[in-house]
Amino acid sequence: MADPMTLGMMGLMGVGTGLQVAGQLGQADTYSRLADIDTQAVNEQGDLAKMAGFEQAKEIRKEGNQLLHDQTATVASGGLVANTGSALLVANETARNIELDALTSEYEGLKEKKLSDRQAAMIQYDKRLTKRQASMNAVGTVLSGVMGGAKIFAGGMSAGGGK
């Protein structure tokens, strides 16, 4: 039987190992919660960018329609027919430019959403890697603690003469 000093040292080693494991797993859990918060924030940012793109496109179309109406009124006030000839060409070109600007705005919002989705996926991937690494570190700590305890026990047994 091991002497009380050896048993005490083994007990302290076990407590120390347990605290290390608890700290490693606690850190991983905290990181995991922060990663979830970051993911949510990135997703919200992407959703807002997407909505802003569509809202801006709606505003571009609204202002563009007003511009077309103003052009038509200006042409008509000059005594020309607004839906023929060069007046019609100008109106068509204006309408194309308005729609191109609106579609560009929508595209930018969708692109920002896609980028934020990818960033969120990377955060979650990093979270999984961190949790896996913490688990492996905890197992390593337990094994080191067991080996250290075995050394203490073996040393105590040989010092005590193996009573």
∠ at Cα 29 (23, 34), nearest 5°? 125
- C-alpha–C-alpha distance, residues 141 and 143, integer Å: 5
Task: Tell me whether residue 55 is in a domain.
Answer: yes
Q: Which residues have C-beta within 8 Å of that of residue 106, sequence separation ≥ 6?
A: 53, 54, 57
Task: Tell me whether residue 61 is in a domain.
Answer: yes
Query: Which domain, by its residues, includes 100?
Result: 4-157
Task: Tell me whether residue 35 is in a domain.
Answer: yes
- C-alpha–C-alpha distance, residues 23 and 70, integer Å: 70
- C-alpha–C-alpha distance, residues 40 and 34, integer Å: 10
Task: Tell me whether residue 51 is in a domain.
Answer: yes
Instruction: Supply the pTM of this predicted model.
Output: 0.70
Task: Tell me whether residue 128 is in a domain.
Answer: yes
- C-alpha–C-alpha distance, residues 106 and 112, integer Å: 10
- Give residue-wise pLDDT tens across range 1-45: 567 777 787 888 888 888 888 988 899 999 999 999 999 999 999
The number of domains in the chain is 1
- Give residue-wise pLDDT tens across range 98-120: 999 999 999 999 999 999 999 99
Task: Tell me whether residue 56 is in a domain.
Answer: yes
- C-alpha–C-alpha distance, residues 76 and 72, integer Å: 6
Task: Tell me whether residue 163 is in a domain.
Answer: no
